[in-house]
Each structure stands twice: as C-alpha cells, then as structure tokens.
Chain A
Amino acid sequence: MNYIPNSDADRAAMLEVIGVQSVDDLFRDVPAEYRYPKLDLPAPVSEMEVLQELQALSEENIDLDHVACFLGAGAYRHFIPSVVDFVLSRSEFYTAYTPYQPEISQGTLQAAFEYQTMICELTGMDVSNASHYDGATSTAEAVIMALNVHRHRRRKVVLSPAVHPQYREVVRTYTQGMGLTIVGDDGVGNGPEDLAALCDEDTACVVVQYPDFFGRVLHPDRLRALAEDVHARGALLVVVANPIALGLLQPPGACGADIVVGEGQALGNPLSFGGPYLGFFACRQEHVRRSSGRIVGETVDAEGRRGYVLTLNTREQHIRRARATSNICTNQALNALAAAVYMSALGRQGLRRVAELCYHKAHYAAAQISALPGYSLWSQDFFHEFVVRCPKPIEEINRYLLEEWGIIGGYDLGRDYPELAGHMLVCVTEVNTRDDIDDLVEALREVAEQEGER
C-alpha cells in the first residue's frame, strides 16, 4: 500500500510537461554509483496485516488497564476525561503545522494562548511559552535562560539532588559545551539551606523540584526563604513543579520563583511509554525576551477583531540564525492542546479535587505500608509519592508483586542513588482504588515474610 493518488497515466502526462523521458532523469544529480541502493526491509503488508502485527506486539506489553500500578517517578497515570481524546482526534488540529499563517491557524493559536494562560494561573507566573519537548528539556532551557539573563557572565549552576535524575542528566548534556560548573547534586543529602549556601556571586541559578523527585513538599515558607537567599546573591530560582500538585499547593510564583518548569504529561496525556509528553515553561515578565520556544500573543485583524499570532520570535532561529538563543522551531502543540482541554474540563474545582484525591489516597497507602513490619517511611511531608525503606531488594519485591498479585510496584531508587538501594518510590493517584491499595499492602506484607530467594 502506498498513499500516492497519481496513476501511471498521470505520471506520464506530468513527465511530459516537465520535459524528461523518465523518472530516473529527475535524479541525475545523485551520484550514479550510489543511486537506487538495495534496501533490506521486510516486504510490505496490508493495513489489516500491519494492524494484526501491531496488536500482537502491543499485547506483549503489560498495559496498565489490566494491572494496578504504583509507579510514578516523572510519568503519571491519571484519569483522562473522554473529551480530551475527542478534541485531539479532530484532524484539523492534528494534521496542521506550526501556525505560520495565523489567519487559517486560529484554532492552534487560540488554544495555545489559552494553554499559556492556564499554565500562568497554575504556576503563579506572568508568562508561559507554548511548551517544550518535556520536563527535562524545559529544565535545561530554564538553566540556559538563566545563563542568558546573566549574559553568560555567571558560570555556575546549583542543582538539587532531589531534581529528577534524568532532568539533571539532560541539563548536563545540553550545557556540556558552555564551560559551566554544576554543583549540589552529589549524594542525596543537600537540602534547600545547603543549596542556598552553595549559591555565590558566580551562580546563575538554583534549581529545585516541588514536590521533589522523592515526592516531598518543601514548605512554601521554606521555598520563600530559599528564593530570598538566592535573590540576595543575584541568582535566579528555577522550580521544577508537578502540575497536578499545583492544584492543591501554593504556586511557586507566589513563593518567589523566577522560572517554573515541569512535565505536563499528567495533564491529560497518556503514559505512552514515555512520550510524547510536554514540558511547560513559565517565567516572570521581565525575562520573556530571553526565554526560548514558541509564544502566542493576542493582536487584532484588519477589522479590529481579536486574533492570535506567534510572537516575539526575534529570539529564534529564523531571524538571527547564529545569534539565536535557542534552536527550537517547534513545541508539543498537540500535547499542550490536551493539557488545555484537560484543564478546561476539570477546571477550578476539578483540578483541586484530583490533587486532593491523590493526596489522601497516597497518605492512606503510606500509613498502611509503614505499619507493616520491616517497612518505614522517609518523610511525612509528601504529595502523592513517597519513599519506603523496604526489607528486601526492590527488584525482588517488584517481581513478586507482579507475578503473585498482578501489581506493578514502585520505582527502585537504587537505580539512580546507590545509597538508596532498598528504597522504593511509591506513587498513588486518583486511579488507584482503596482495593488496589489494600492489595498492595497485603502483597508487601507477604513478600516481607517470604524466605529470601537469594
């Protein structure tokens, strides 16, 4: 199957208009010895066959419609109202491109403007862009923006060890050519006061996560104090936030953050094995011209009616090329649309409700688990994810949970923090029922009582 509408007769007529004998004549600039190579690909199949093949492949995966899951660590399962996929399935949205022609792209543009506004409200910030690739790249872009704010005269970045390990890796990858010093995240011990102490006259920014990778919530008063310390040294405070938690918690903008970024997947996007997701990015008004990524602005048309366009793109590649502060020429428009529809459907009450459901259920689960012999909690101050010290290796526990109970357990923190071997990061959201949680507790009790396999 191909998707080419032209017949042989059409092609012959076209080649005649072009004035060539055959299709091959159109490729004469391609070096002859490399033309028409052998392509070792499987023979093509029909739509029916490919669907059967994909169905079979997809069924080799354990999907979360069939098991209870307590895995989070940066990707979260939440209920997605049906309206979200309904809107995304409108092909006027999903088959459009970047809205270079605003007069026929008002749908994409207005939805992005609404998304930007909702992100501002959620984070407590002045302006938002139309999204980045994901939470990790948003974090890297936030660091680069902080460097730009300081015109690259400050060469140090302070990272909290409780920022998602993959985000910290991406920050390092992005900035490897910039001659920076990145400090603060060796070991798990550094708290906000330690980070403030590391911040000096050469520091461009301090990056913390809220709630952090371990699920802990830094009290808004302590976040405010950190912001003051960081600002006193002339640096910026970057907060990586969980958008669902912001349905309940004080927004970072109200606590003095200069840039708030995070992973927006939780807002109406399926887990999809890790992508596509969207990174949200919001900052203070004064820094908007140094931020990266697409931004949609309001304007008027020739008749004075309100409309929307991409704006402030002098920061971007198509105007200044080598002097551009960012190479971004895209965003995650469709994922941002999902987030906008999700936030519209849930609204003021619904997002708060989701956050509360997550909070109460997670605390119920934590209380039950920590009452089990051999299990203990790290912290009481968490949102919907918490660290449990376990009596056995996490891999062994998780294997038991899946094989005996059909439960996908939490994240093995020893993978990123060697000193946290035997610690599991458990996530509970509104989709986990009390029965799921009680099963998990029972399964954890059982596995602790089992004779060690090793």
Chain B
Amino acid sequence: MTEPLIFEISSPGRIGASLPDLDVPEAEVPAGWARDDLPLPEVAEVDVVRHFVRLSQMNYGVDVGFYPLGSCTMKYNPKINEVAARLPGFAHVHPLQAPDTVQGAMALMHELQRFLAEIGGFAAVTLQPSAGAHGELTGVLMMRKYLYDRGETQRTKILVPDSAHGTNPASTTMSGLEVIEIPSDDRGNVDLEALKAHLDDRVVGLMLTNPNTLGLFDEHLLEITRLVHEAGGLVYGDGANFNAILGICKPGEMGFDVLHYNLHKTFSTPHGGGGPGSGPVGVSEELAPYLPGPIVDQEMTDDGPRYVWRMPERSIGRVKSFWGNFGVMVRAYTYIRMLGAEGLRAVAENAVINANYLEARLKHVYPVPYSHRTCMHEFVAQGKIEGAPDVRALDISKRLIDYGFHPPTMYFPLIVREALMIEPTETESKDMLDAFVDAMLKIAEEARTDPELLHTAPHNAPVRRLDEVRAARHPVLRYRKREPRL
C-alpha cells in the first residue's frame, strides 16, 4: 500500500478551493515584484480528500490502538477536548485584540495557571512555552538569570543524571551552560557520591527527571534537593513523567524550584503526530519574577475580576510569540475540570497499576533491570530473549506491529542495553494489557523458533521495514519533478 505524492496526481488547471471575486478595483503591482511561477499541486477537492484520508489510513494513532510508547504518555484523548478548542469564541479570536474583548480566554488561562501551580506545588506558572523541551530551555535560562542577578556568575555547570531525558543536556547547551553527567547507582537512583563530588559553587543546578526514564522514583529525592540547595544551586524538574505522580505528591513541596508540565502528555491533549504540544513552567516564589511573559494577572474591580497581561519584572524575555499554544490550553483546562482532584489522583494510580501489572507479567521473559523495585507509570525491559541471541529490541518492536500494537520506545534510556521502554497509561484496560502480553510472549517464542520472522518484520504494515541508513546517506528531502527525457 503506497500513496502517490500529491504532486504526482497534480494536473494543470485543477483547483480544490473556491474563492470570492474581487469586489474592489485592481491596484497596480510594481514592476519586478511578482514571481513567475509557483509550482504547487493542482488538484480538485476530491483529490485532496482522498489523498489525505488514504495517508491517514497508513498512520497509527491512539484511536487506532494501544500505543505503549514509553516516556510519551500516549493516553486516550477525550473527544470533548476537540469540541472545546473549536468553539468559535476560542478558535476565532485574534491574539492582539484588546484585553477587554478577550476576557473569557484570559480567564481560562488564569484558571489554568492556578490549576497547574496547585497541582505542582508552585507559586507561579507561565503558559508560554510550546513543548517540554521549550519549557526546559525556559527553566534553565531562568535559573541562570536568577543566580547571575545575585552576582553568582561563576556558576556555569548544570548536572544532568544519565537517566534524564535526552533534551535536558541539549537545552543546557543552548542556554550557554556546561553539562556534567551524573551516573545512576545500582538501584537506578542518582548516585549520591557522584552528585556530591560535583556540587560546588560553580553549579547552577540539577535537572532531574523524577520519576526517571527507568520508571523509578528516586529513593533519595529529598536528600538530593537538599544537597543541591546547600551548594547554592537550584533543582529543575522535567515534568514529562508527571502522569505517575498527579495528585500523589507536589514537586514544589519536595524541593523542586522549577518544573515544566507537558500538557500534551499528562493533560490529554492529542500529540498531533509530533505537535503541537505545550510546556508550561511552574516556579517557586523566588523565581516567579523571572518567568517569560506576559502572563495573565487578575485585578479586582467593582464589576468583578478583570484579567490583564503582565510582564514579570525580571523576566528572561519572551520565548514565543503571543501567549503560548492557547488551543492546547483549552484542552488541558477541559480535562482538569472534568477530573478534579480525585480524578487526577486516579489517573496516576491506574497508570502505575497498569505499568506494574505489565512488568509483573513480562519480566520473566523480557529482563527488567530494576524489577526488584516497584516502577511508576513506565518501566524499561530488555529486548534480549533467552535462546534467541540474534534477536534485538528493534526486531521485537517491528514484529509487534504485525500483532496490531504500536511498539514501545526503543534504545532509550541509553543506560539500558536493548531497552524497550513501556508505558501503558491509565486509559488501557486489563484486557488490552493481557492481549499485549500474549503478543509479547508469542514473539518471544517466535524469536526462538523462527527468528527470521522477526528480522523481516513488519509483514502486515502499509510498508515493509524502511531503510533509514539510506535516507541519511543519500538525503532526499523534497520532491522534485522528474523532467521527461527528450
């Protein structure tokens, strides 16, 4: 099953949209302005619809099936979210309208800022960042500026555990700071001795993913945050794994100074094939003046509350145009309103039950390095099957596709060999998890008896295994019309 490119079904003279006639006199276009050609496709509306519907049928989404992609929190996205974001009063509002004409949207943002601050245990929240990594950059820039404002410009190091998300070191580098990697100990925690060895007056802070990418809640969390603070540094929390601790604990109360939320993971906004997301950042009282803005503030008037834009006084600046990904905020707001405190806690509990259940059922066949501990909402197994030495995590993943499942995250975190990072989320039923286990066990059996079946998988996907090496060595990054040979 392949689908031609839209350029290949193009035929001169077709158009897939209707436009109004010009109802004013024509103006002259200055000489030399106009382009000669615009080689976009020429297709009818029906061509557009069929083309993109066929492409959609070659795509696997949460609405198609189980998507245990570790660290990505691919939970079911309630349909009410889509209806809410498309309300004309939200979708058809210009960001630069006078505040008096957008009080409803600003009220929603103000409430969401408050909800997120409450859930995370923070003093203030900015909604501006567009994604988790964008929130990381925001957080690190804030930490840096806060310390530099205090005259501590000798602080240039950020400590990042080896179990952190891959974007943490990259965000640090972008902010002009140096990354020091901290190893994990044999229980999957941050190695305390290694941490202490690096804690000096050159440390800006620690970026901690907790629960970490091994799916473990650090057993020394309070000691870690205390040690970093004693060294004059700050603790950044990567909130990508927040789904595990929603309503269970508040990072802001446990020593985190900054944390980003992934609205597109924890708060049920669909991931859109890789975006848009949204990465609000929550901070402690001391860091609140450094937030990127504007943020929404509430003023009390005789007619009730009025919402205004306010730029925090020591702001690092804007990180994005306008106010952030408002459409995503509407979805997250809707979700939090429907769940409330109890519902959010139930999310974390069921996400953790589901993960531990899967781990318990799979660990006898797929080794789990830290299986002696309870995991949080995800765990890391290894694609190493006894009696099948040539079979790798990649082969198992591709074979899972044949059984109708999206594969887990592969080869991440980097500290586990042949890693398969599995995150079921709370929105899957026991029946679905059992079906997944059955498939995984069957694949292990196939790995021993017919490994070739795995090496050549997938067999039932729209395309067979794709040659990624060729794509990188001989990059073809756009379509070019092949000229007919004369």
Nearest first, the 8 closest Cβ-Cβ pairs linking A and B are A177-B176, A58-B89, A274-B322, A60-B104, A274-B95, A44-B340, A107-B59, A334-B272
Chain A proximity of B199: nearest CB distance (Å):
19
B316 lies within 8 A of A173 (CB): yes
Q: Is A153 an interface residue (CB 8 A)?
A: no
Q: Is B435 an interface residue (CB 8 A)?
A: no
Q: Is A299 an interface residue (CB 8 A)?
A: yes
**In the complex, what residues of B have CB within 8 A of residue A221's CB?**
32
Partner of A357, one of B22, B75, B318: B22
**Given known A60-B103, A133-B131, contact A288–B475 (CB-CB < 8 A):** yes
Q: Is B172 an interface residue (CB 8 A)?
A: yes
**Given known A4-B347, A37-B249, A60-B103, contact A92–B133 (CB-CB < 8 A):** no
Chain A proximity of B145: nearest CB distance (Å):
8
B427 lies within 8 A of A4 (CB): yes
B167 lies within 8 A of A317 (CB): yes
A20 lies within 8 A of B88 (CB): no
CA distance A252 to B375 in the complex (A): 53
Contact mask B380-411 → A, CB, 8 Å, 1/0?
Answer: 00000000000000000110010000110110
Q: Is A287 an interface residue (CB 8 A)?
A: no
Chain A proximity of B442: nearest CB distance (Å):
19
Q: Is B461 an interface residue (CB 8 A)?
A: yes
A217 lies within 8 A of B33 (CB): yes
List residues of B (150-188) whose CB comes within 8 Å of A's CBs.
166-167, 169-177, 179, 181
**In the complex, what residues of B have CB within 8 A of residue A305's CB?**
2, 463-464
Q: Is A21 an interface residue (CB 8 A)?
A: no
**Given known A217-B33, A350-B15, contact A334–B275 (CB-CB < 8 A):** yes
CA distance A85 to B167 in the complex (A): 32
Partner of B3, one of A110, A271, A433: A110
Residue in chain B with minimal CB distance to A434? B23
**Given known A106-B463, A299-B471, contact A92–B316 (CB-CB < 8 A):** no
A176 lies within 8 A of B317 (CB): yes
List residues of A (245-287) whose CB comes within 8 Å of B's CBs.
246-251, 254, 263, 270-278
A300 lies within 8 A of B320 (CB): no
Q: Is A128 an interface residue (CB 8 A)?
A: yes
**In the complex, what residues of A have CB within 8 A of residue B75's CB?**
3
B20 lies within 8 A of A430 (CB): yes
List residues of A (70-125) whose CB comes within 8 Å of B's CBs.
71, 73-75, 77, 79, 81, 83, 85-87, 89-108, 110-111, 113-114, 116-118, 120-122
List residues of A (27-75) whose CB comes within 8 Å of B's CBs.
27-31, 34-47, 50-51, 53-65, 69, 71, 73-75
CA distance A170 to B75 in the complex (A): 32
Question: How many B residues touch A, CB cutoff 8 Å?
Answer: 202
CA distance A55 to B169 in the complex (A): 42
CA distance A137 to B175 in the complex (A): 14
**Given known A177-B177, A274-B323, A301-B466, contact A169–B317 (CB-CB < 8 A):** yes
Please classify the interface of chain B as helix (H, G, I), strand (E, B), loop, or mixed, using the class held by over half of its residues: loop
Interchain Cβ contacts under 8 Å between A and B, 5 examples:
A3-B268, A98-B273, A104-B58, A275-B320, A296-B477
How many contacting A-B pairs (Cβ < 8 A)?
680
Q: Is B102 an interface residue (CB 8 A)?
A: yes
Q: Is B327 an interface residue (CB 8 A)?
A: yes
List residues of A (124-156) whose CB comes within 8 Å of B's CBs.
126-128, 130-131, 133-137, 144
Residue in chain B with minimal CB distance to A46? B338
Q: Is B243 an interface residue (CB 8 A)?
A: no
B360 lies within 8 A of A351 (CB): no
CA distance A118 to B72 in the complex (A): 29
A101 lies within 8 A of B407 (CB): yes
B49 lies within 8 A of A86 (CB): yes
B38 lies within 8 A of A351 (CB): yes
A271 lies within 8 A of B93 (CB): yes
Contact mask A323-365 → B, CB, 8 Å, 1/0?
Answer: 1101111111111010011011111111111101101110110
Chain B proximity of A433: nearest CB distance (Å):
6
Partner of B16, one of A83, A249, A277: A83
Of the listed stretches A6-14, A185-193, A369-377, A446-454, chain B binds A6-14
B63 lies within 8 A of A311 (CB): no
**Given known A248-B35, A335-B275, A364-B25, contact A114–B479 (CB-CB < 8 A):** yes
Further contacts, 15 of them, CB under 8 A, given A42-B337, A357-B20: A5-B428, A34-B253, A41-B344, A45-B338, A94-B272, A105-B60, A114-B7, A136-B320, A164-B321, A273-B94, A273-B102, A274-B321, A295-B477, A347-B42, A361-B22
Partner of B43, one of A4, A81, A344: A344
Contact mask B244-274 → A, CB, 8 Å, 1/0?
Answer: 0101111001100000000000001011111
Q: Is B146 an interface residue (CB 8 A)?
A: no
List residues of B (429-486) whose CB comes within 8 Å of A's CBs.
429-430, 456, 458, 461-468, 470-472, 475-479
